[in-house]
């Protein structure tokens, strides 16, 4: 870590008042390289792999739901990224957060190793604590994401820029997931999960050094020096920002209460193998890749608001299917829902980031990014763990058979999804926030 200190703290780095077009282009290339690498590490560690890993290590449905919600539930820790951006800059804060993120993830590897010698509670604690640290440091590093993206992306191409980011990330994710699925096709053992997670950590360590090199002006540091209470107040007083805050919460909640529970339903409701479950995880990623390609062509033309509404509608359609899930496992229709869910998930992420950079001036991005992500993360985390996990626990206690529990869950959240769509609909039409 000592040798990496200058890289992550920004020692010897200059923060000019503005960046030239050539420097911005260099920054975009680093951004794209980072997200290509990040797609590999995310495939090894995030979402569906960790859900299956947790189930395989004996965690029950409610604990798995809480773990899947960590990435959002810990967003209040994002406030710790503010002083880091103020001191080190956005790129170095992002890099350091990512490095510590993967250092935490290595704790999860210990669960199976200690299982023969201790209780299930200890195994659960190790996996949950590793996942918690993994999510916390991600949150801290994410404080720098939107301001840093605003440094390298010109205003007239932000939709294309974010679409390229997600297309590269999802493409490398897709290839990595294909390799993981193939591996499990022939070796379905717990140690394979440990190998996959360990590989993700190694790639993640390297990716953190790439993002730390992205050039930036002095704007993110100056923006981060504003008092947080002032940031919250200014964000809340501005009607447009307030509507964006609610829409951001709605968009994140929508996919949090749908996608992880689809995987739990497939795995526990239909009792499919890990290999089959990972095939559907791969299809989910394919939907994200397609979304990145499609949005690259239409995002700047159609506008973020319209696309956000369409993608939430897509998730509603997915929930309708699962609310009436057939008693017999039908691979074709199930695959279609995973493809659509992946498409909508990435589409929502692209739309929110595009709208944010359009609506928020550069001088206010650090503060507003903190407010948006902390609020939406906390809301989504509570929705996934308390609402989602709580509903599953409550429905399971009624004595219903497994698949009926999941059908009932999706029937209940349809009401919430419709309410979230109405929140997104209240967004104003886009106009450039900084005129850049």
pLDDT score for 386? 78
Write the secondary structure of 357-395 as one string of H (helix), E (strand) and C (coil): HHHCCHHHHHHHHHHHHHHHHHHHHHHHHHHHHHHHHHH
Residue 138: phi and psi, rounded to 5, are -60, -45
User: For the segment 38-97, what is each residue's pLDDT rounded down to a tens digit?
Assistant: 989 988 887 678 888 888 888 887 788 788 778 777 878 888 888 888 888 888 888 889
Question: Does residue 181 belong to any structural domain of this protein?
Answer: yes
CA distance 26 to 17: 17
State the residue range of the domain holding 273: 21-425
Digit-by-digit pLDDT tens for the chain (436 residues) are 555 666 776 555 677 777 787 888 888 889 889 989 998 998 888 767 888 888 888 888 778 878 877 877 787 888 888 888 888 888 888 888 999 999 999 999 888 888 888 888 898 899 999 999 998 998 888 878 777 877 877 766 666 777 787 778 878 888 888 888 888 888 878 888 889 999 999 999 999 999 988 888 887 887 777 777 777 777 777 777 888 888 888 888 888 889 888 988 888 888 888 888 888 888 988 888 888 778 777 766 667 778 888 899 999 999 999 999 888 889 999 999 999 999 999 888 888 877 787 777 766 776 777 788 788 877 877 787 778 878 888 888 887 877 888 999 999 989 889 998 888 888 876 555 443 3
Record the tokens describing residue 281, joined without a space.
Answer: 């995880």
pLDDT score for 435? 38
Question: Does residue 432 belong to any structural domain of this protein?
Answer: no
User: How far is C-alpha 25 from the geometric centre of its chain's CA atoms?
Assistant: 25
**Number of domains making up the chain:** 1
Question: Does residue 45 belong to any structural domain of this protein?
Answer: yes
Distance separating the N- and C-terminal Cα atoms of the chain: 38
Record the tokens describing residue 308, joined without a space.
Answer: 């956000």
Q: From 361, 343, 378, 354, select the one nearest 249 (Cα to Cα).
A: 378
Q: CA 204, 209, 212, 213: dihedral to nearest 10 degrees?
A: -130
Question: Does residue 14 belong to any structural domain of this protein?
Answer: no
Question: Does residue 219 belong to any structural domain of this protein?
Answer: yes
329-368 burial, b at 16+ Cβ within 10 Å, e below that, comes to eeeeebbebbbbbbbbbbbbbbbbbbbbbbbbbbebbbbb
Give the H/E segment covering residue 420: helix 402-425
Q: CA 182, 183, 186, 190: dihedral to nearest 10 degrees?
A: -140
237-261 burial, b at 16+ Cβ within 10 Å, e below that, comes to ebeebebbbbbbbbbbbbbbbbbbb
Question: Does residue 4 belong to any structural domain of this protein?
Answer: no
pLDDT score for 436? 37
* Beta carbons of 247 and 424 less than 8 angstroms apart: yes
What CATH code is carried by the domain that includes residue 284? 1.20.1250.20
Q: Is 182 left (phi over 0), alpha (psi -120 to 50) or beta?
A: alpha
Question: Does residue 434 belong to any structural domain of this protein?
Answer: no
* Beta carbons of 309 and 424 less than 8 angstroms apart: yes
pLDDT score for 208? 92
pLDDT score for 384? 78
Residue 399 DSSP symbol:
T
Counting runs of H as helices and runs of E as strands, what totals does the chain give?
21, 0
Q: Is 21 helix (H, G, I), strand (E, B) or coil?
A: helix
CA distance 148 to 15: 12
Question: Does residue 245 belong to any structural domain of this protein?
Answer: yes
Angstrom distances, CA of residue 203 to CA of 173, 184, 206, 207: 12, 20, 5, 6
pLDDT score for 319? 93
CA distance 27 to 347: 23
User: For the segment 176-212, what is each residue's pLDDT rounded down to a tens digit?
Assistant: 888 888 888 888 788 888 899 999 999 999 999 999 8
The overall average pLDDT reported for the chain is 83
In sign, the C-alpha dihedral spanning 296, 419, 142, 258 is: negative
CA distance 82 to 223: 9
Record the tokens describing residue 418, joined without a space.
Answer: 């419709």
């Amino acid at each position: 870590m000592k040798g990496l200190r200058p890289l992550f703290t920004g020692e010897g780095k200059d923060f000019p008042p503005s960046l030239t077009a050539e420097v911005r282009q260099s920054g975009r290339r680093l951004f794209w390289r980072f997200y290509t690498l990040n797609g590999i590490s995310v495939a090894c560690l995030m979402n569906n792999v960790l859900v299956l890993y947790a189930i395989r290590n004996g965690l029950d449905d409610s604990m798995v739901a809480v773990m899947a919600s960590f990435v959002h539930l810990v967003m209040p820790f994002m406030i710790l990224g503010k002083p880091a951006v103020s001191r080190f800059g956005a790129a170095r804060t992002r890099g350091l957060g990512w490095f510590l993120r993967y250092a935490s993830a290595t704790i999860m590897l210990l669960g199976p190793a200690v299982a023969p010698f201790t209780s299930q509670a200890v195994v659960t604690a190790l996996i949950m604590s590793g996942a918690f640290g993994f999510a916390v440091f991600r949150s801290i590093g994410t404080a720098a994401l939107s301001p840093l993206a605003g440094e390298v992306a010109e205003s007239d191409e932000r939709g294309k820029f974010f679409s390229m980011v997600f297309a590269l990330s999802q493409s490398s994710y897709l290839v990595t997931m294909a390799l993981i699925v193939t591996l499990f096709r022939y070796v379905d053992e717990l140690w394979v999960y440990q190998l996959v997670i360990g590989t993700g950590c190694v790639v993640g360590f390297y990716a953190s050094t790439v993002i730390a090199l992205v050039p930036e002006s002095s704007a993110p540091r100056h923006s981060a020096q504003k008092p947080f209470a002032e940031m919250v107040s200014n964000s809340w007083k501005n009607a447009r920002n307030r509507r964006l805050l609610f829409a951001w919460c709605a968009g994140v909640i929508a996919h949090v209460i749908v996608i992880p529970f689809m995987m739990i339903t497939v795995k526990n409701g239909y009792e499919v193998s890990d290999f089959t479950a990972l095939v559907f995880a791969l299809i989910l990623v394919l939907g994200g890749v397609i979304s990145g390609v499609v949005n690259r062509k239409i995002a700047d033309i159609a506008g973020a608001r319209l696309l956000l509404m369409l993608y939430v509608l897509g998730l509603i359609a997915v929930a309708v299917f699962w609310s009436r899930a057939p008693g017999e496992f039908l691979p074709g229709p199930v695959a279609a829902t995973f493809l659509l869910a992946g498409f909508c998930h990435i589409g929502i992420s692209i739309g929110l980031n595009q709208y944010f950079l359009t609506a928020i001036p550069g001088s206010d991005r650090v503060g507003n990014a903190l407010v948006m992500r902390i609020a939406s993360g906390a809301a989504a985390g509570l929705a996934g763990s308390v609402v989602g996990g709580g509903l599953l626990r409550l429905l399971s206690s009624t004595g219903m058979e497994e698949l009926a529990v999941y059908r009932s869950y999706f029937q209940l959240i349809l009401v919430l999804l419709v309410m979230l769509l109405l929140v997104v609909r209240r967004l104003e039409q886009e106009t450039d926030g900084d005129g850049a």
